Chains A and B, each alone.
Chain A
């Protein structure tokens, strides 16, 4: 956020402030080599998966990062070494791709299962319907995590969604689960259950995690659509605030100091990385 205000980031970003418990809890329940696809609001998923914060910041800053060399930016990052097959800038577009990853996992027979995160707004995309039906009839294990933060871009989801995500699962003969998405331990347990259920049943499982977005849809969003007092109310259930209560004052202080140092150090090192070379722009279009 600081980098944005300093003008170090080209364009906008979609921050997941307030939603951190979903990726943190889910990644605890997953194998490190379970394929992962996220929304464009995927920063938390990449960090929870273990991506080096230096590489991560460098990519957002348009530096020659170890991730994607500045080609992906904030909203389309991937980390192949960490089995992250990409954020996606097109709402819902990761779900069909997850079906194919699931097909590949099933053929490999090594117990891996893909996980795709989408927002509640993505539930109204045609390709999400297509993919849930297809994964179900083709008996492909996969987990769809719906991060329901109450807003589809900048419009309240309730105005746009006739039937909530978890209830829709039944329409595809899938199990649909709900969880408090601000509680990382609850997310971990529900996703772990979803993982077993999906592998055992050979069908996709949907997990709707209820959470709150404590920022705008994108970094320049003034959020004039927010009712007065809403943000203040949601800040009470901020997973970081809740998590702090689990620790002693001393423990919490130490964690906060450690994280602040880690972030500051990673950011400084990322800023120091050079910009990608212009002649790189024409490479990797084709295999040869």
Chain B
């Protein structure tokens, strides 16, 4: 295996792989488990080489998501640091009891006498041809639950550093990666994890409009901003939804007066509404205009033209920005 010192630009998936390798190498209590993660080297390659290097600390499980999450929880309560891979976020729904009723409550109900320092890694979002059971974006469901931490990395650097932070956290953390972003490359900061849990990144500074996004939304917004007619935008990549960096967003909207939230998940009942509501409560009439761009209220269809009709697109983001600038 190469080390970080050897590498400048890494793919997102390789960054995940290196974060796992680092955790296994430095903390003997870390274990990695999931479907196809050991001998097959991971369905998408996130665990490549880890079983060869770390043996029975990297465990292939049966296709039993409820048992997988429960096993990770029991192992965490028993003193280990499990990192569980769930191949598609859609499969988390099979294990909802263990995640919501068991993992999230362990610390609270025992007054921290029992804790669940585990990580659930998964990937989500639309991939062309994938159907409604392999394309959802579910971060809002889990950000809704007290006791869980939720992160949605959008760059290789964050895929590395956020997973490092997640594994070191004393709380259960869910990391929602994106399969579409797995091949994208970027510089990864070597050494220690550089971003704090819950800290956003201001990607660019502007004066007329604050755009808040995470995950696949970031690239979409950046593409929209390449248009010469785009307004002057403060672009914030939230990175974490629980805890989320409301302070940075409120400060930004306090300057720009306008707020747009862009995410791939369903608009209805989505986390964008949480962001808008929080900013509105904090700023009152200081928030002149706000909007959201997300998945229109349908399941995700398989055929690309159908999917494009309901997913957030560059043109929908551009239109939303223009509409807000008219207020």
> Is the CB–CB distance between B98 and A96 below 8 Å?
yes
Among the listed stretches B4-12, B106-114, B256-264, which one makes contact with chain A, having 4 or more residues with CB under 8 Å of it? Answer: B106-114
Residues of B58-86 whose CB lies within 8 A of A: 59, 61-62, 64, 66-80, 82
> Is the CB–CB distance between B82 and A100 below 8 Å?
yes
Among the listed stretches A65-73, A211-219, A252-260, which one makes contact with chain B, having 4 or more residues with CB under 8 Å of it? Answer: A65-73
> Is the CB–CB distance between A286 and B66 below 8 Å?
no
With a cutoff of 8 Å between Cβ atoms, the chain A residues found around residue B107 in the complex are: 284-287
B251 at the interface (CB under 8 A from A): no
> Is the CB–CB distance between B82 and A286 below 8 Å?
no
**In the bound complex, CA of A156 to CA of B102 (Å):** 28
B292 at the interface (CB under 8 A from A): no
- Total inter-chain residue pairs, C-beta < 8 Å: 144
A83 to chain B, nearest CB (A): 10
A279 to chain B, nearest CB (A): 14
> Is the CB–CB distance between A131 and B70 below 8 Å?
yes
Among the listed stretches A9-17, A104-112, A176-184, which one makes contact with chain B, having 4 or more residues with CB under 8 Å of it? Answer: A104-112
A23 at the interface (CB under 8 A from B): no
> Is the CB–CB distance between B113 and A78 below 8 Å?
yes
Which among A35, A93, A134 is the interface contact of B97 at CB below 8 angstroms? Answer: A93
In this complex, the interface size class of chain A, counting residues with CB under 8 Å from chain B, is: 35 or more
Mask, B111-146, CB within 8 Å of A = 1, is 111110000000000000000000000000000001
Which among B64, B80, B106, B149 is the interface contact of A134 at CB below 8 angstroms? Answer: B64
A138 at the interface (CB under 8 A from B): yes
**In the bound complex, CA of A68 to CA of B115 (Å):** 13
B153 at the interface (CB under 8 A from A): no
> Is the CB–CB distance between A103 and B71 below 8 Å?
yes
> Is the CB–CB distance between A96 and B147 below 8 Å?
no
Which among A68, A101, A126, A133 is the interface contact of B109 at CB below 8 angstroms? Answer: A68
B208 at the interface (CB under 8 A from A): no
With a cutoff of 8 Å between Cβ atoms, the chain B residues found around residue A71 in the complex are: 108-111
Residues of B26-47 whose CB lies within 8 A of A: 31
With a cutoff of 8 Å between Cβ atoms, the chain B residues found around residue A284 in the complex are: 107-108, 110-112
> Is the CB–CB distance between A285 and B97 below 8 Å?
no
> Is the CB–CB distance between B61 and A96 below 8 Å?
no
Mask, B139-174, CB within 8 Å of A = 1, is 000000011010000000000000000000111000
A80 at the interface (CB under 8 A from B): yes
A97 at the interface (CB under 8 A from B): yes
Which among B64, B71, B75, B110 is the interface contact of A72 at CB below 8 angstroms? Answer: B110
Which among A85, A90, A98 is the interface contact of B114 at CB below 8 angstroms? Answer: A85
B3 at the interface (CB under 8 A from A): no
> Is the CB–CB distance between B77 and A286 below 8 Å?
no
With a cutoff of 8 Å between Cβ atoms, the chain A residues found around residue B67 in the complex are: 96, 99, 127, 130-131, 133-134
Residue of A nearest to B94 (CB): A126
B2 at the interface (CB under 8 A from A): no
**In the bound complex, CA of A71 to CA of B112 (Å):** 12
Given A100-B71, A108-B79, A285-B147, the answer on whether A138 and B59 have CB atoms closer than 8 Å is yes
Given A96-B73, A100-B74, the answer on whether A133 and B115 have CB atoms closer than 8 Å is no
A-B CB proximity, top 5 nearest:
A96-B70, A100-B74, A104-B78, A287-B170, A130-B64
